[in-house]
């Protein structure tokens, strides 16, 4: 009797394992555009997934606006396909909920199975509706070659893939249902706390998956000949064409070289002057008047909280043709009353240094805070002892303060080195103009310009891929270096 029960238990948990695995697979598949059951004709974008089709009808029929306008086809079929997608996605959600409940006790498992069975049925119904919409569409336009050519009705393969999986889940659930131990009326819904905690965590892990891990799937665009609004299919698979193009094409190669030079140049300026906030903090702490010190600290930190767009607005108000510098020069008579002022933001001289200066102006007060906190953490008796020994101000700074701050400085320096490809987009985009384009284009700006502005997505994906991979390598090298030198990791 007892043996039989454990055997049964093993069988149930095995079946549950398969059921959960398929449920997770289906949920994941619903986010990938391949095998979308609602793609009933060629004009339905190949970029959208089942999930997107169900969430947004506009996304589903994005490329069909012309077809509707020209009356090639009635909108009804697509509304039917959309309804099918919605029903199917609701079913998937229900099976997901059922799978979550399967982690509980027998009573909760029973409830979960009800969810799963209803969900699987609803899924199957949804896929069937999608398929019916395809049959109807095909029935209407099938006769006319002109329309077939334009719309390209397409057998939604996804219906069978998803449908088969839903069917398996349904059968598994029925089997498990019959094997589950009886539930007495006084049993309560319960679950182990380890699973309870996990299920509470799951939605957030799912969001991290959607916004951090799923984007990596976009790297596939690097291997296709893709234009905005087009589709990805084996027809336009080009392998490493774009990788080679980057280095073989004369124009992109020159661009890339100048972009890399700018990126490294501006980062190098920042890395070389990494000690500025530290010195700023050291000298600020030499100010004995606490009120003045607080005042300085408060106001030099403000620029850090201002967006780059606002920094640019400020820059314009001071340095542009009708900005402060020019009007002030006119007021004191350096510049003639009706002379045309000079716009200091145009022009391409010292662009790197200008960018560095803006970054420093914005960030130095903020970066100094960590050093100020570090200085107040240094043992005061060291200073007293040094004073007694007759050390001067600079001797104390050199022998006590700076060595005390060095570990912090080292960590921040390594972080700056590992982040040297990530200059950020905002600053360079707002200060970009026709005259300084040669020296201001850093990697982030370049990716933005060729990808979003010029629309060559594959090429910019390739550049972005290189950047991401090299950044990760740099970060881990810096970490390894830190471990080797100081026995502490920085990440």
Q: How far is the CB of 269 from another protein (least distance, A)?
A: 19
360 binds another protein (CB under 8 A): no
Nearer to another protein, 142 or 424 (CB): 424
Question: What is the smallest separation between the CB atom of 233 and another protein, expressed in angstroms?
Answer: 16
- Binding status of residue 301 toward another protein by CB under 8 A: yes
Task: Based on the shown chain and the rule CB under 8 A, indicate whether residue 219 belongs to the binding site for another protein.
Answer: yes
Which x/- pattern over 156-195 shows residues binding another protein (rule: CB under 8 A)?
-------------------------------------xxx
267 binds another protein (CB under 8 A): no
Residue span binding another protein (CB under 8 A) among the ranges 124-132, 152-160, 245-253, 461-469:
461-469
Taking CB under 8 A as the rule, does residue 303 contact another protein? yes
Nearer to another protein, 141 or 281 (CB): 281
Interaction of residue 237 with another protein, rule CB under 8 A: no
Least spacing, CB of residue 175 vs another protein, in Å: 25
Minimal distance, residue 49 CB to another protein, in Å: 6
Longest dimension (CA), the chain: 106
Min separation Cβ 237 and another protein, Å: 17
Residue 8 beta carbon to another protein: minimum distance, rounded to whole angstroms: 24
Q: Is 213 in the site for another protein (CB under 8 A)?
A: yes
**400 neighbors 378 (Cβ within 8 angstroms):** yes
Find the shortest distance in angstroms from Cβ 138 to another protein.
27
CA torsion 29→33→38→44, rounded to 10°?
Answer: 180
In the list 442, 464, 478, 482, the residue contacting another protein (rule: CB under 8 A) is 464
Q: What is the dihedral of CA 57, 61, 67, 69, to 10 degrees?
A: 40
145 is an interface residue for another protein by CB under 8 A: no
| From candidates 21, 28, 208, 339, binder to another protein by CB under 8 A | 208
- If binding is defined by CB under 8 A, does position 273 make contact with another protein? no
Tokens of 304: 């850090």
Question: Of residues 307-326, which lie at the interface with another protein (CB under 8 A)?
Answer: 307-310, 312-314, 316-318, 320-322, 324, 326
Q: Does 298 bind another protein (CB under 8 A)?
A: yes
Buried b / exposed e along 156-194 (16+ C-beta atoms within 10 A): bebbebbbebbeebbebbeebeeeeeeeeeeeeeebeee
Of residues 382-441, which lie at the interface with another protein (CB under 8 A)?
A: 387-388, 393, 408, 411, 425-426, 429-430
* Closer Cβ to another protein, 89 or 94, answer by number: 89
Binding to another protein in span 52-111, by CB under 8 A: 52, 55-56, 59
Is residue 37 a contact point for another protein (CB under 8 A)? no
295 part of the interface to another protein, by CB under 8 A: yes
Q: Which is nearer to another protein, 34 or 272 (CB)?
A: 34
Cβ-based nearer residue to another protein, 147 or 465: 465
Judged by CB under 8 A, does residue 243 bind another protein?
A: no
Do the Cβ atoms of 176 and 110 come closer than 8 Å?
no
Nearer to another protein, 237 or 299 (CB): 299
């Amino acid at each position: 009797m007892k043996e039989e029960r454990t055997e049964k238990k093993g069988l149930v948990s095995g079946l549950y394992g398969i059921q959960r695995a398929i449920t997770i697979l289906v949920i994941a598949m619903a986010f990938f555009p391949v095998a979308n059951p609602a793609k009933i004709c060629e004009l339905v974008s190949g970029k959208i997934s089942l999930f997107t089709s169900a969430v947004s009808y506009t996304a589903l029929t994005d490329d069909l606006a012309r077809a509707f306008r020209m009356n090639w086809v009635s909108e009804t079929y697509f509304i039917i396909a959309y309804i099918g997608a919605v029903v199917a996605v609701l079913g998937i959600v229900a099976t997901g909920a059922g799978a979550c409940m399967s982690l509980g006790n027998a009573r909760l498992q029973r409830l979960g199975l009800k969810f799963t069975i209803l969900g699987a049925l609803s899924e199957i119904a949804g896929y069937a509706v999608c398929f019916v919409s395809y049959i109807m569409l095909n029935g209407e336009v099938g006769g006319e070659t002109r329309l077939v050519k334009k719309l390209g009705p397409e057998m939604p393969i996804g219906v069978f893939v998803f449908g088969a999986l839903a069917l398996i889940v349904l059968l598994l659930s029925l089997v498990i249902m019959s094997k589950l131990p009886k539930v007495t009326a006084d049993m309560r819904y319960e679950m182990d706390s380890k699973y309870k905690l996990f299920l509470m965590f799951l939605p957030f892990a799912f969001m991290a998956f959607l916004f951090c891990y799923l984007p990596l799937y976009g790297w596939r665009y690097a291997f296709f000949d893709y234009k905005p609004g087009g589709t990805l299919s084996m027809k336009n698979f080009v392998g490493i064409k774009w990788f080679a193009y980057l280095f073989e094409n004369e124009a992109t190669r020159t661009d890339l070289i100048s972009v890399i030079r700018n990126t490294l140049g501006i980062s190098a300026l920042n890395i070389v002057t990494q000690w500025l906030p530290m010195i700023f903090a050291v000298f600020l702490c030499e100010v004995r008047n606490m009120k003045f010190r607080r005042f300085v600290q408060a106001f030099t930190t403000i620029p850090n909280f201002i967006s780059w767009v606002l920094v640019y607005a400020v820059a314009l108000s001071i340095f542009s043709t009708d900005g402060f510098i020019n009007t002030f020069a006119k007021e004191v008579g350096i510049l003639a009353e009706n002379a045309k002022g000079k716009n200091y933001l145009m022009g391409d001289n010292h662009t790197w240094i200008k960018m560095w200066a803006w970054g420093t102006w914005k960030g130095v007060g903020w970066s100094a805070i960590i050093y100020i906190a570090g200085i107040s953490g240094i043992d005061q008796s060291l200073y007293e002892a040094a004073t007694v020994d007759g050390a001067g101000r600079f001797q104390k700074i050199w022998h006590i303060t700076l060595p005390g701050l060095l570990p912090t400085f080292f960590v921040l320096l390594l972080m700056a080195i590992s982040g040297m490809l990530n200059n950020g987009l905002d600053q360079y985009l707002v200060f970009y103009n026709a005259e300084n384009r040669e020296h201001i284009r850093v990697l982030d700006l370049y990716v933005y310009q060729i990808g979003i502005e010029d629309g060559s997505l594959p090429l910019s994906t390739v550049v972005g891929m290189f950047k991401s991979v090299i950044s990760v390598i740099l970060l881990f090298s810096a970490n390894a270096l830190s471990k080797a030198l100081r026995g502490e990791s920085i990440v």
